[in-house]
Amino acid sequence: MSSPAGSTRIDFAGSPRPTLGVEWEFALVDADTRDLSNEAAEVIAEIGENPHVHKELLRNTVEFVTGICADTPEAIADLRATLLPARKIVRDRGMELFCAGTHPFAKWSAQKLTDAPRYAELIKRTQWWGRQMLIWGVHVHVGVSSAHKVMPIISSLLNQYPHLLALSASSPYWDGEDTGYASNRAMMFQQLPTAGLPFQFQTWAEFERFVADQKKTGIIDHMNEIRWDIRPSPHLGTIEVRVFDGISNLRELGALVALTHCLVVDLDRRLDAGEQLPTMPPWHVQENKWRAARYGLDAEIILDADSNERLVTDDLDDILNRLEPVAVSLNCADELAEVEHIYRTGASYQRQRRVAEEHDGDLRAVVDALIGELDLGEPEQQGAS
C-alpha cells in the first residue's frame, strides 16, 4: 500500500484469522474497608514475571491479558487460568479483586500513580482531568486481515456503540454520589486528549495522514497515545474495542467478548462480499454515546443516517438473531446467547443501584456484591457453560 505525500506509512500486521485478545482491568480493594488499595506493585511482584499480568496508570489497578486466542471459550479459559491464582495472592494480602467502571465511593485524591515515565508525562500534561481517571474497563482485540478493511469496519461498528456501552454500563457512582448516569466512566475518559470517539475515516491513508499530523504537532509521540473508544492496533493486526465499562464476572465478559467478535467478523465478511457498510453521521454517533451513558438499557438510540430511533434492547433482539450463524461459525453461540440474559435481568449499573437501595444507601454493600459476582466465574460455582 502506497502512502500519500506528507504522511508516514503505518504498517498493519494483519491477522490471517479473526483471532481474539482480551484485556480485563481490576481494582484492588481492602478486605475490611472496601476502599481502594494502592498495592498493585507488590501484588505484581509476588505473581512474578508474567505476560498475562500488567500494571496500569494507578497503583490500585492490575490488568489481566490473554494470549492470542481462537475464540471466546479459549479467551475466557485463558483469563480464568490467570485470575484464580492471582486472586489467591490478592486475598492472602488482605484484599479482594473488584471490577466495575468506577468504584462507588473511593476518593481520586487518595490514589497513587504507578512509577513510570509515560504515566508521569500523562499527568503532567492532563493535570486535574488526568488525576480523575479512577476508572476501569475491558478491551477486546479482534484480528483483521488487512489494513484496507480497518477504517470501514470501525466506522460501521460505531452504529453498535450504544448497544455495547449500555450492556456493560457499570459506573453509576462517583465519589459516593449517584451520578444519574449508567456509565459515568464513558463521560470521564473522553476528557483526556485523543480519547473518545474515533474519527470516521474510510481509508487507511486517511488514518496515516491523521497520525502524521498528530505527531508533527506534538499531540502524540506514539500510536498508543491515540486513546479512541475503538482504534486500530497496527502492530497486533487488530481492531481494539475499548467501549466497555469494567465487567464484574466471567459470564457477562464472555457474552460481550462473543458479541464483539461476531460484530467485527460480520462486518469483515460483508466487506468481502462487496457490501458497502452502513454508517451514521458523527453527530448521531456522538448522541448515541451520550444516550447510552446516561440511560443505559433504557436508551432510545438513533439507528441510521435517516434518523430512525428505537429502544436499544429491542434492537439488540434483532442483532442477536442476525448474528446467530456468525456465532456458530466462531464457536461462541452459547456465549452470544448470554447477552440477552444481561438485558432481561439487569445490567451491572442496575444491580448496583438495587443493592444500594436495599442497604439504605450503604455503598460498601455495592462493593461486596461486585466482589461476590466474580465468584460466579469459578467453574464449581458457575455450573455448566
In tens, the pLDDT along 131-181 reads 777 899 999 999 999 999 999 999 999 999 999 999 999 999 999 999 999
pLDDT above 80 (res 378): no
Whether residue 385 is contained in a domain is answered as no
Question: Could you list the residue range(s) of the whole structural domain that residue 291 is in?
Answer: 18-374
Over pLDDT 90: what percentage of the chain? 80
Of the given ranges (71-75, 117-121, 176-180), which has the lowest mean pLDDT? 117-121
Give the number of other Cβ atoms within 10 Å of residue 307's Cβ: 10
Residues 161 and 228: their CA atoms lie apart, in Å, by 12
Whether residue 294 is contained in a domain is answered as yes
Name the pLDDT band for 39 (thresholds 50, 70, 90).
confident
Q: What pLDDT is attached to residue 113?
A: 66
Q: What pLDDT is attached to residue 383?
A: 36
Residues 289 and 292: their CA atoms lie apart, in Å, by 5
Mean pLDDT throughout 260-287? 98
Q: What pLDDT is attached to residue 375?
A: 73
> Which CATH number do you get for residue 113?
3.30.590.20
Helix (H, G, I), strand (E, B) or coil at 161: helix
Q: What pLDDT is attached to residue 63?
A: 94
**95 and 88 Cβ atoms separated by less than 8 Å:** no
Whether residue 346 is contained in a domain is answered as yes
Q: What pLDDT is attached to residue 115?
A: 66
Mean pLDDT throughout 102-126? 76
Residues 86 and 54: their CA atoms lie apart, in Å, by 12
Residues 108 and 173: their CA atoms lie apart, in Å, by 13
Whether residue 382 is contained in a domain is answered as no
Q: What pLDDT is attached to residue 2?
A: 39
**254 and 72 Cβ atoms separated by less than 8 Å:** yes
Whether residue 349 is contained in a domain is answered as yes
Residues 378 and 365: their CA atoms lie apart, in Å, by 21
In tens, the pLDDT along 221-260 reads 888 899 999 999 999 999 999 999 999 999 999 999 999 9
Would strands 20-30 and 137-143 be described as parallel, antiparallel, or unpaired? antiparallel
Q: What pLDDT is attached to residue 6?
A: 47
Q: What pLDDT is attached to residue 50?
A: 86
Mean pLDDT throughout 54-66? 85
**367 and 29 Cβ atoms separated by less than 8 Å:** yes
Whether residue 132 is contained in a domain is answered as yes
| Average predicted confidence (pLDDT) for the chain | 91
Whether residue 5 is contained in a domain is answered as no
5 or 39: which leads in pLDDT: 39
Percentages (nearest 5) of helix, strand, coil residues in the chain: 50, 15, 35
In tens, the pLDDT along 335-354 reads 999 999 999 999 999 999 99
**83 and 91 Cβ atoms separated by less than 8 Å:** no
Number of domains in the chain: 1
Whether residue 126 is contained in a domain is answered as yes
